[in-house]
């Protein structure tokens, strides 16, 4: 009798798992997401009964949580007047750019609401020590406020010196606000420096906090991956560098020191950067800071620069796949040369096709990735894509001097994308990111020189030799590729 009951229980569990999987498959199909993402989740749900369903319910959709989503919508409406004013003041700047840039400018305005802003001075900082020394120096000159928003702050070395600079600024009466991602900066937020900063009067906020209870209402891997600092409306920073000293950060990962780049900016673009930071702060705390117009009024005067820059924020609370859409346009705009630098290369079919299309129409396409990354799954999934790219003439180079963490796209020597966005579906779909579209030949020339320096320390993959790699290696790579859309 007991054996018969167990038999029926197993059948019921199997039937329940089948019905649950079928229901989720229907939901996945109805969401009309990219085909790669859809098929990957269908595969996971069907092949892993219950486990796959649980994984999908936890991380399968971009659930910010109903309360948080309502707050995000309400807060964003508060800034609509400011955005309208920006477009009134800078709306014609895009039409003064060369004709080849105008379609992208118009599309970016439609997607983000932010116009390109001329008259900026940009400095490219390509070494961690120069980056930290510049940031610390500017904090030491602060007289009004320091706003920082970063994915990771990790104790040690120059990162500790930056914390000391914030404490000095606070002692001078400077308002210091720091927003750190709750997951990326978890060890720091639980450590001695976070305590010292709070005791010293620095406002320290966790972005997108996690807890078992929150798992029921939103997915926990939606992260704030931005790197932004703005000081007094006088100077700002953004790029790929976290608040980490690479001599101390993830030394056990076996990938070498992390290599990054930051832009030090002066000029009107700071107003757009502070707008992103202030809105994020209000989203996390529920507390409105000074109205954005106050920050605009306190912006420094003429920077003496001439570089047009468009700030591109992206993330789950923005238009769906906004940065994916814009980067696809960027790749298709290339006519002569396309340089792409990314530490994590697991694009969807749309972006891979855009790269292949560029090479096939005669564009010299170069993809630069690190030889080793801190994610084994990403490493194999990325390599599975090289065959198709090499076959159409894309040059693929692997950087051997450490974990190249810079994210850059350079098009035809006249346009550059720099920021925090990786070429993977996590950055393009899940994370809150920040990018700068720079419409300037001189800045692009400097960025191109930087990338050429990276390439000098890289190994180009030979297409014929790559095709001869062992079958077991290709099998592992292709298996990793199946979950690529979920990475």
Q: Which residues are catalytic?
A: 225, 227, 232, 405, 407, 412
Asked if 118 and 90 touch (Cβ cutoff 8 Å), the reply is: yes
Name 117's bridge partners: 309
Distance of CA 453 to the CA centre of its chain: 23
Distance of CA 13 to the CA centre of its chain: 41
Asked if 120 and 266 touch (Cβ cutoff 8 Å), the reply is: yes
CA separation for the pair 216, 220 (Å, rounded): 10
Nearest to 424 by CA among 373, 351, 338, 474: 351
Q: How would you write 36-73 as a 3-class SS string?
A: HHHHHHHHHHHHCCCHHHHHHHHHCCCCCCHHHHHHHH
Q: How far is CA 291 from CA 17, 234, 278, 280, 282, in A?
A: 52, 18, 9, 13, 11
Name 366's bridge partners: 339, 395
Backbone angles phi, psi at 226, to 5 degrees: -75, 155
CA separation for the pair 48, 45 (Å, rounded): 6
Nearest to 323 by CA among 436, 207, 198, 464: 436
Name 265's bridge partners: 122, 236
Asked if 186 and 214 touch (Cβ cutoff 8 Å), the reply is: no
Instruction: Give the DSSP H/E element, type plus range, for residue 12.
Output: helix 2-30
Residue 438 has a CB neighbour count (10 Å cut-off) of 27
CA separation for the pair 326, 46 (Å, rounded): 33
């Amino acid at each position: 009798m007991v054996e018969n009951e167990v038999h029926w229980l197993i059948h019921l569990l199997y039937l329940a798992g089948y019905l649950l999987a079928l229901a989720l498959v229907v939901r996945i199909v109805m969401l009309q997401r990219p085909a790669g993402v859809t098929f990957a989740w269908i595969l996971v749900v069907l092949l892993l009964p219950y486990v796959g369903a649980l994984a999908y319910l936890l991380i399968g959709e971009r659930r910010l949580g109903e309360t948080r989503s309502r707050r995000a919508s309400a807060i964003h409406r508060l800034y609509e007047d400011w955005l309208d004013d920006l477009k009134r003041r800078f709306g014609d700047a895009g039409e003064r750019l060369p004709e080849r840039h105008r379609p992208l400018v118009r599309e970016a305005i439609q997607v983000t609401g932010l116009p390109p802003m001329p008259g900026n001075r940009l400095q490219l900082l390509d070494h961690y020590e120069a980056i930290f020394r510049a940031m610390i120096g500017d904090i030491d000159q602060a007289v009004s406020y320091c706003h920082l928003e970063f994915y990771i702050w990790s104790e040690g070395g120059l990162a500790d010196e930056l914390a000391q600079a914030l404490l000095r600024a606070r002692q001078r009466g400077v308002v210091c606000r720091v927003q750190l991602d709750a997951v990326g900066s978890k060890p720091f937020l639980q450590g001695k420096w976070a305590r010292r900063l709070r005791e010293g009067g620095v406002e320290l906020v966790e972005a997108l906090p996690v807890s078992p209870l929150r798992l029921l209402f939103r997915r926990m891997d939606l992260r704030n991956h931005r790197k932004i600092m703005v000081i007094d409306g006088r100077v700002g920073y953004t790029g790929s560098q976290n608040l980490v000293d690479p001599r101390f950060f993830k030394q056990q990962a076996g990938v070498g020191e992390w290599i990054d780049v930051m832009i030090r900016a002066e000029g009107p673009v700071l107003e757009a950067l502070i707008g992103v930071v202030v809105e994020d702060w209000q989203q996390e705390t529920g507390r409105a800071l000074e109205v954005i117009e106050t920050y605009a009024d306190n912006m420094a005067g003429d920077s003496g620069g001439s570089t047009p820059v468009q700030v591109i924020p992206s993330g789950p609370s923005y238009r769906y796949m906004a940065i994916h859409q814009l980067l696809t346009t960027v790749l298709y705009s290339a006519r002569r040369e396309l340089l792409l630098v990314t530490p994590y290369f697991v694009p969807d079919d749309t972006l891979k096709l855009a790269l292949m299309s560029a090479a096939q129409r005669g564009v010299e396409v170069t993809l630069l990735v690190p030889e080793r990354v801190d994610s084994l799954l990403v490493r194999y999934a990325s390599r599975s894509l090289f065959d198709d790219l090499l076959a159409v003439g894309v040059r693929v180079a692997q950087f051997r001097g450490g974990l190249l963490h810079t994210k850059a796209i350079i098009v035809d020597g006249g346009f550059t994308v720099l920021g925090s966005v990786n070429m993977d579906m996590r950055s393009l779909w899940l994370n809150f990111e920040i990018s700068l579209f720079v419409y300037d030949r001189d800045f692009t020339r400097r960025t191109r020189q930087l990338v050429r320096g990276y390439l000098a320390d890289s190994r180009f993959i030979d297409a014929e030799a790559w095709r001869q790699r062992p079958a077991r290696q290709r099998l592992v790579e292709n298996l990793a590729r199946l979950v690529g859309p979920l990475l």
